[in-house]
């Protein structure tokens, strides 16, 4: 099954759970692009890499403070789970489901 799709996700942050919509658009040669949008605004995915069902990417958050995020997740059927590393805040759990 492809990793492509739109996922309704929750990230457990130090400020409480944050909901968002993650869009994954596979490209050529093991890459992907997309974005995540939610209560805190929108961020574009940079450096997206796909290895089987595993995704890895970066994003830059600007609100409530600027911080670089390093993300990794695995797609299993219609679910996605992984983590978002936010600098000094460390890793935060990410979980979600693909929209039909």
The domain tally of the chain equals: 1
The token duo for 26 is 């596979």
- Rounded alpha-carbon distances, angstroms, from residue 7 to 18, 22, 53, 57, 89: 14, 5, 14, 15, 24
Residue 83 has pLDDT above 90, yes or no: yes
What CA–CA distance (Å, rounded) separates 19 from 46?
Answer: 20
Range of the domain at 48: 5-98
Q: What is the CATH number of the domain that holds 61?
A: 2.40.128.120
Other C-beta atoms closer than 10 Å to the C-beta of 34 total 22
Q: For residue 15, is it left (φ>0), alpha (ψ between -120 and 50) or beta?
A: alpha
Q: pLDDT tens digits, residue range 5-61?
A: 999 999 998 888 999 999 999 998 899 999 999 877 899 999 999 999 999 999 998
pLDDT band at 1 (very low <50, low <70, confident <90, very high): low
Burial class of 63 by CB neighbour count within 10 A (0 to 12, 13 to 18, 19+): exposed
Q: pLDDT tens digits, residue range 33-46?
A: 999 998 778 999 99
Question: Considering the entire predicted model, what is its pTM?
Answer: 0.91
What CA–CA distance (Å, rounded) separates 88 from 25?
Answer: 29
């Amino acid at each position: 099954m492809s990793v492509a799709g739109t996922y309704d996700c929750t990230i457990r942050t130090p400020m409480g759970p944050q909901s968002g919509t993650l869009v994954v658009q596979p490209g050529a040669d093991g890459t992907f692009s997309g974005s995540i949008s939610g209560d805190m605004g929108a961020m574009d995915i940079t450096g997206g890499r796909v290895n089987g069902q595993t995704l890895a990417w970066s994003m830059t958050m600007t609100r409530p403070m600027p911080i670089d995020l390093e993300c990794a997740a695995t797609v299993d059927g219609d679910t996605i789970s992984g983590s978002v590393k936010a600098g000094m805040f460390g890793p935060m759990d990410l979980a979600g489901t693909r929209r039909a």
